[in-house]
Structure 1
Amino acid sequence: MRFTVSSLIFLGCICYGVYWAFFDMDRLPEGEFLTEQISPDGKYTLKAYVTNGGATTAYSVRGELIFHERNNKKKNIYWEYREETASINWIDHDTVVINGHKLNVPNERYDFRRE
């Protein structure tokens, strides 16, 4: 019984470590500012940044949602590889299109690594 519990705890730690190291959107690089758009009701601002991974990887675009009603809390909601520009269009108060990817904020995210 102890061996099973210990094994499950160890396996859980390994799985979390892989997620944290490779898939956690809160660990994305900052990048250089590209553009920003404020939602129609002013609740959110979506800022886009371009990141350069160096000589061996292509440029990527990161989208950061800012919550004005929550003391400007920030949340990464968009991450796309092989992009250098960002087109941001708000459809309504809670729906934004970033480079053709439609997201309902604040809960949806787009991450190319999960496609």
Structure 2
Amino acid sequence: MKRLYIVFLIAAIFVSMFCLFSGCSFVQEDLLLTTKSPNNAYTVEAYKTNGGATVDYSIKVYLINNNNKLLIYDKYHDYDADIKWINNDIIYINGITLDLSKGETYDWRKDES
């Protein structure tokens, strides 16, 4: 019985770490807001993700294009989406500025600051 418990615990840790660092398809995403650029060229949707009891909330923002979603912002330990358009191409998301015309994205796992 102890071995089964240890195997289950190791598996749970492995799945949690995998989910944290590579993303999970079973993570619940709740739509927070949808916004368009001033010239209506870009549409973005912000979601709050909930991975369950072992993973903290995060914010994901997708650029919507022809019903395709491109992840442009992914930040762990975020709880809300503060989004402002600087101009037609530049968007401010929770302290991060992205130029969508240049294809800029933000992923907390790749942040070197």
TM (norm. structure 2) is: 0.71
| Aligned residues between the structures | 92
Q: Using the TM superposition, name which of 29-38 and 48-57 deviates more.
A: 29-38
Q: Secondary structure at the match of 1:78?
A: strand
TM (norm. structure 1) is: 0.70
RMSD: 2.4
From 44, 60, 67, give the equivalent of 2:42.
Answer: 44
Matched residue, 1:31: 29
Question: Do residues 82 (structure 1) and 72 (structure 2) align?
Answer: no
Does structure 2 conserve the Cα–Cα contact (< 8 Å) formed by 1:63 and 1:79?
yes
Matched residue, 1:96: 91
Does structure 2 conserve the Cα–Cα contact (< 8 Å) formed by 1:36 and 1:88?
no
Unaligned runs of 5+ in 1: 1-20
From 105, 109, 112, give the equivalent of 1:109.
Answer: 105
Q: Which runs of 4+ in 1 moved over 4 A?
A: 21-25, 27-30
CA displacement, residues 14-36 of structure 1 (integer Å, 9 cap, x when unaligned)? xxxxxxx88667x6946100012
Does structure 2 conserve the Cα–Cα contact (< 8 Å) formed by 1:61 and 1:80?
yes
Does structure 2 conserve the Cα–Cα contact (< 8 Å) formed by 1:89 and 1:96?
yes
Shift of 1:73: 3.0
Does structure 2 conserve the Cα–Cα contact (< 8 Å) formed by 1:49 and 1:62?
yes
For the residues of structure 2 that align with 1:105 and 1:28, how far apart are their CA atoms? Answer: 28
For the residues of structure 1 that align with 2:26 and 2:109, how far apart are their CA atoms? Answer: 12
